[in-house]
Chains A and B, each alone.
Chain A
Amino acid sequence: MKFLRKQLDSVKHNFEKGGKWEKYFFAYEAFETFLFTPNTTADAKGAQIRDAIDLKRLMMTVIIAMLPCLIFGMWNVGYQHHLATGQTGTFMDALVIGLVKTVPIIIVSYAVGLGIEFVFATIRRHPVNEGYLVTGMLIPLVMPPDIPLWQVAVATAFAVIIGKEAFGGTGMNVVNIALTARAFLYFAYPSQISGEVWTFLGEGVKPVAGYSGATPLAIAAASTGNAATDLSSFGAGWADGMYSVWNMFIGVIPGCIGETSTLMCLIGAFILVFTGVGSWKIIVSVFAGAWAMGLLLNAIGTTPFAQLPAHYHLVMGGLAFGAVFMATDPVTAAQTETGKWIYGLLIGVFTVLIRVFNPAYPEGIMLAILLMNVFAPLIDYFVVSANKNRRLQRATV
């Protein structure tokens, strides 16, 4: 470690004020502080001691919480491949297929996103914030395994530049960056991110008879126009028990790389809540909102989709992943504690509304979160106003 420190110290003067690479100081700082926590001490006045936590630790905790989803997702890519092509393979075979499909997406996401971050930090002369460590992992997890890599790169660039840097960088963005990337693909290249793209088949491989790569949501959405479809056979699918509640909960269904497994999302949620990094209020209220809306539709709805048991909504699609990892993004969520309840509840409600009543987009969570990201400041405005009014009412002048 001493050797590393010496090397860093020996080049440091080049990056400091007056050095020949002065303008790359923050790029250097990002690497230096990654390797060594800095030797800065508290100011002479004020708090003389500081909490051990920093943004790096916080972001790393979120990444650790995402690992179950990532590893399960990788395996599931291979598992779905085997299922669809009628092959059999071991756990390791499936994982290797998943690795081959997933790792390049992760590398592209990090390379493009961090590259843009460093460029902007250098131009704007501000430190490189660690927020992208999480975003860079979220983007691959909400992509289908077959996504072309150049689309990942374009979507990442769009999301980081338009979604974040245009607003001033980390901490200033209005909408969730990873979802901006996905929404960009959704509207710009719909053919690669909707329909039967969720299962990796491989070149020239024939799927088994009766195969359909549709997600449960797509099947349910297709039933909307056709009142005759009987959703009681929903659980059957083309393979045995394909879309049973249990399978959807475990996550052995086609879908985005990281979002299929409600169970893995709940493990992630446990890590986030136990470490205090994610807001349990948001997570709980998203599920509560979706379930309540599902029950309401059961009571008044006429279409088969509306009659779908409410708990199906909780395990289908990306609701769990969105609730745990996307809605809890502290920058784009409501920032007041009361606001977090309202924000989460409305995300759940809108997710189910969009799913059931919008024929074009089978998945509702992405649009619901983006919509509520935009409304979060409004929710906060009313909560903060209430706080101000309590103070005003006490005053006599």
Chain B
Amino acid sequence: MGKFIRLKKGFTINLAGKAAAKIGDSGPADSVAIKPTDFQGIYIPKVVVKEGDTVKAGSPLFHDKKLERIQFTSPVSGEVVRITRGEKRALLEVVILADKQVEYLPFKKHTVSEIANLSVEGIKSQMLDSGVWANLVQRPFGILADPSVTPKAIHISAFDTAPLAPDYSFLFKGQDHFFQTGVDVLKKLTPGAVHINIHNASDLSTVFSQAKGAEVNKFSGPHPAGCVGVQIHHIDPINKGDIVWTINPFGVIQIGKLFLQGIYDASKLVAITGSEVKNPQYVKTYTGASMKSLTANNVAAENVRYISGNPLTGTHVGKDGYLGFYDHQVTVLPEGNDYEFIGWITPGANKLSVQRAWGLFSFLTPNKEFTLNTNTHGEPRAMVQTGVWEQLVPMDILPGHLIKSILAEDIDEMEALGIYEVIEEDLALCEFADVSKHNVQGILREGLELIRLS
């Protein structure tokens, strides 16, 4: 039996526009895109298709020049219509026009008993070839998992505490069998444990809690309790020299389907959320779906921001953009590109703050849902305040000192202060709450890259 960890620190941002537990119609599935920029740690992606080629679901689109065994494959069948390149011809996205009926590239099927006898190398090559490998994220650094290493453990966070996050028990309902098979496969990749970290309060579907052969750990507490980095810190922390892998339940289910059915199935449920969405709900679509199809006839306002992911760690992709590889959520928020007369002193109950210096009486309305825009509410300033970030990171880590050591580019200090244990999402709340409006997640990534590439 796993551990039960109660977390106290953190802050749950309660926003308006949570997805209702129903599956709505998405627009016509027109085009999907796979973006190399979604994959942290990719070196130089090398495209293997040309515009006009037809592909099946699971056909390779590109691979990395360094980790060339990892194939990035097409989520749907169809025609490659556009290969977008940016500065210095860097590959930005491969766009595929989807067929009405998806055709799958066949991979080897296995029965449950066969899977138990598969060799590690056999498992790895099937995962690498089919495209499911990209679901594995390696810590430290939060990069694509290197197939040549053996991780200390594999961690699966089975709940999401981010603002407006989808409900995983709805997202993965009825996938018990595939999830269990995925866990069985993953168990072969590590000599350590596969940890499934579930939320204590959720009346969970049995998908996660009944999984066999894994350590099931329970967590309670506000965001970022659902961040896998926070969970690892409390279960089995990453020390210098350790390597662990993390994977979203969606990836585990994809692995299960690959080995049981022999297909790369990239269909997924995505939560369409945010205050600007008329009808916040779930839609059934594919990895890399276009924002247009996801939000068709569901957004009224013009001056809005289309975010792939949640409002804390997501990416502003624009109305014509595409869903990120790892995302199960689209958030549409009002843009805050307007001035506000003496907005820093004007009292108002419609803005959210971690600190009571803003919402003095916010404790009277604990369940209020806020409609927030993307305004920064202030200008970059020197670091002055202390003690607030520490209240938002439920780990034995000093975020203020860590960020300062990164700004000083002091690698020894970063290591000593625990940079290996965190990636952007773990400190996202610090960026939200920062009085001095620092780009905390960006700074952290710079520090991680400085160490990784040195």
Whether the Cβ atoms of A337 and B387 lie closer than 8 Å is yes
Q: Which residues of A30-50 have CB atoms within 8 Å of chain B's CB atoms? A: 33-50
**Contacts A48-B331, A50-B377, A396-B239 known; A57 to B342 CB distance under 8 Å?**
no
Q: Which residues of A contact B339 (CB under 8 A)?
A: 5, 36-39
Could you count the A-B residue pairs with CB atoms below 8 Å apart for me: how many are there? 226
* Listed stretches B179-187, B286-294, B416-424; interface member: B416-424
Check if B313 is an interface residue, CB within 8 A of chain A. yes
When C-beta atoms are compared, the residue in chain A nearest to B441 turns out to be: A46
**CA gap between A35 and B345 in the complex, in Å:** 10
Decide: B241 and A44 in contact? CB cutoff 8 A: no
Q: Quick one: which of A37, A44, A127, A392 has the most chain B CB within 10 A?
A: A37
> Would you call A130 an interface residue if the criterion is a C-beta within 8 Å of the partner chain's C-beta atoms?
yes
Contacting pair B344 A170 (CB below 8 A): no
Known: A37-B344, A53-B378. A396 touches B241 (CB 8 A): yes
In the complex, residue of chain B having the shortest beta-carbon distance to the beta carbon of A47: B431
Residues on A with beta carbons closer than 8 Å to the beta carbon of B396: 387, 390-391
B129 CB within 8 Å of chain A: no
B393 within 8 Å of A (CB atoms) = no
User: In whole angstroms, what is the CA distance A33 to B305 when docked?
Assistant: 24
Task: Check A384 against B341 for contact (C-beta < 8 Å).
Answer: no
Which listed segment binds A: B49-57, B78-86, B347-355? Answer: B347-355
A4 CB–B CB distance under 8 Å:
yes
Chain B residues with Cβ below 8 Å from A384 are: 398, 401, 417
A171 and B384 within 8 A (CB): yes
Q: Please, what's the 1-or-0 string for A321-343, where 1 marks a CB less than 8 Å from any CB in chain B?
A: 00000000011010111001000
CB-defined contacts of A337 to chain B, threshold 8 Å? 387, 390
Within 8 A of B (CB), among A47-65: 47-58, 60-61
B144 CB to nearest A CB, Å? 18
Which residues of A sit under 8 angstroms from B424, Cβ to Cβ? Answer: 46
Q: Does A302 contact B (CB under 8 A)?
A: no
Q: How far is the CA of A340 from the CA of B400 in the complex (A)?
A: 15
Alpha-carbon separation in the docked complex, A35 to B344 (Å):
9
Within 8 A of A (CB), among B376-423: 376-388, 390, 396-398, 400-401, 416-418
Q: Which residue of B lies closest to A282 (CB)?
A: B387
Q: Are the C-beta atoms of B342 and A55 separated by less than 8 Å? A: no
Q: A58 with B373: in contact, given A41-B337, A53-B358, A53-B435 (CB under 8 Å)?
A: no
Q: Are A53 and B377 in contact (CB under 8 A)?
A: yes
Of the stretches A74-82, A147-155, A253-261, A270-278, the one at the interface is A270-278
Assess whether B6 is interfacial by the CB under 8 Å rule.
Answer: no
Question: Shortest CB–CB separation between residue A155 and chain B, in angstroms?
Answer: 23
Please determine whether B343 and A37 come into contact, CB atoms closer than 8 angstroms: yes
Q: Report whether A49 and B312 are in contact in the complex, using a CB–CB cutoff of 8 Å.
A: yes
Residues of A within 8 A of B437 (CB): 50, 54
Q: Is A300 an interface residue (CB 8 A)?
A: no
Digitize A301-334: 1 where CB-to-B-CB distance is under 8 Å, 0 elsewhere.
0000000000000000000000000000011010
Most chain A CB inside 10 Å of its own CB: which residue of B374, B378, B387, B424: B378
The reply on B434 being an interface residue by CB < 8 A is yes
- Of B241, B341, B357, B374, the residue contacting A42 (CB under 8 A) is B374
On chain B, the residues within 8 Å of A33 by CB distance are 378-379
Check A276/B357 contact, CB under 8 A, given A40-B379, A55-B381: yes
Interface membership of A239, Cβ < 8 A: no
* B418 proximity list for chain A (CB < 8 A): 391
With a cutoff of 8 Å between Cβ atoms, the chain A residues found around residue B174 in the complex are none
Determine the residue in chain A with the shortest Cβ distance to B390: A337
B232 within 8 A of A: no
Q: Considering the chains assembled together, what is the distance between the CA atoms of A225 and B444 in angstroms?
A: 59
Hey, which chain A residues are within 8 Å of B342, CB to CB? Answer: 34-37
> Which of A60, A171, A397 sits near B344, CB closer than 8 Å?
A60
| Complex contact B305–A48 (CB within 8 A) | yes
Which A residue's beta carbon lies closest to that of B380? A127
Q: Which of A5, A40, A46, A170 contacts B375 (CB 8 A)?
A: A40
Q: A51–B338 contact, CB under 8 A?
A: no
Residues in B whose Cβ lies below 8 Å from that of A247: none
Q: Given the complex, which residues of A lie within 8 Å of B13, measured CB to CB?
A: 49
Complex CA distance for A384 and B352, rounded to whole angstroms: 31
Instruction: Check A49–B442 contact: CB distance below 8 A.
Output: no
**A17 located at the interface, meaning its Cβ lies under 8 Å from any Cβ of chain B in the complex:** no
Residues of B within 8 A of A45 (CB): 315-316, 441-442
With contacts A5-B339, A36-B343 taken as known, whether A395 is within 8 angstroms of B241 at the C-beta atoms is: yes
A162 at the interface (CB under 8 A from B): no
Whether a CB of chain B sits under 8 angstroms from the CB of A136 is no
Q: Is A172 an interface residue (CB 8 A)?
A: yes
* B433 interface residue per 8 A CB criterion: yes
Chain A, residue nearest B382 (CB)? A171
- Which positions 319-352 of chain B face chain A at CB distance < 8 Å? 331, 333, 335-345, 351-352
A169 in the interface (beta carbon within 8 A): yes
Residue of B nearest to A340 (CB): B387
**Cβ 8 A contact of A49, one of B311, B315, B358, B440:** B311
Q: Does B428 contact A (CB under 8 A)?
A: yes
Within 8 Å of chain B (Cβ to Cβ): is A113? no
The one of B239, B315, B373, B436 in contact with A44, judged by C-beta atoms closer than 8 angstroms, is B315
Instruction: Please indicate the chain A residues that have their CB under 8 angstroms from the CB of B205 in the complex.
Output: none
Taking the closest CB of chain A, its distance from the CB of B255, in whole angstroms, is 28
Interface check A20, CB cutoff 8 A: no
**Closest CB-CB distance, B434 to chain A, in whole Å?**
7
Query: Could you say which residues of chain B place their CB within 8 Å of the CB of A36?
Result: 339-343
A391 touches B337 (CB 8 A): no
- Asked if B379 and A279 make an inter-chain contact with CB atoms under 8 angstroms apart, the answer reads no
CB closest chain-A residue, reference B398? A387
The answer to whether B141 has its CB under 8 Å from any CB of chain A is no
Query: Do B340 and A37 touch across chains, with their CB atoms under 8 A apart?
Result: yes
Closest Cβ of chain A to B333, distance in Å, is 6
User: Chain A residue with minimal CB distance to B433?
Assistant: A51
* Interface flag for A129 (CB, 8 Å): yes
- B residues in contact with A41, CB < 8 Å: 305, 335-337, 373-376
Note all chain B residues with C-beta closer than 8 A to A340. Answer: 387
* A131 CB within 8 Å of chain B: yes
Interface residues of A in 197-247 (CB under 8 A from B): none
B340 touches A277 (CB 8 A): no
> Given A35-B342, A46-B428, A55-B381: A275 and B376 within 8 A (CB)?
no
- Option from A34, A57, A396 in Cβ contact (under 8 Å) with B358: A57
B356 at the interface (CB under 8 A from A): yes
Q: Are A48 and B311 in contact (CB under 8 A)?
A: yes
Tell me the chain B residues, 1-55 only, with Cβ under 8 Å from chain A: 13, 15
Instruction: Tell me whether B360 is interfacial, beta carbon within 8 Å.
Output: yes
Q: Whole-angstrom distance between the alpha carbons of A36 and B379 in the complex?
A: 11
11 contacts between A and B (CB under 8 A): A4-B341, A39-B339, A48-B314, A50-B375, A50-B437, A56-B378, A57-B345, A129-B381, A170-B381, A170-B382, A391-B418
Beyond A49-B15, A49-B432: 13 further Cβ-contacts under 8 Å? A37-B378, A39-B336, A40-B376, A41-B336, A43-B439, A43-B442, A45-B441, A50-B374, A50-B376, A53-B357, A54-B344, A172-B382, A395-B240
In the A-B complex, the 8 residue pairs with the smallest Cβ-Cβ separation, listed nearest first, are A54-B378, A171-B382, A37-B343, A52-B351, A395-B239, A397-B241, A44-B316, A36-B339
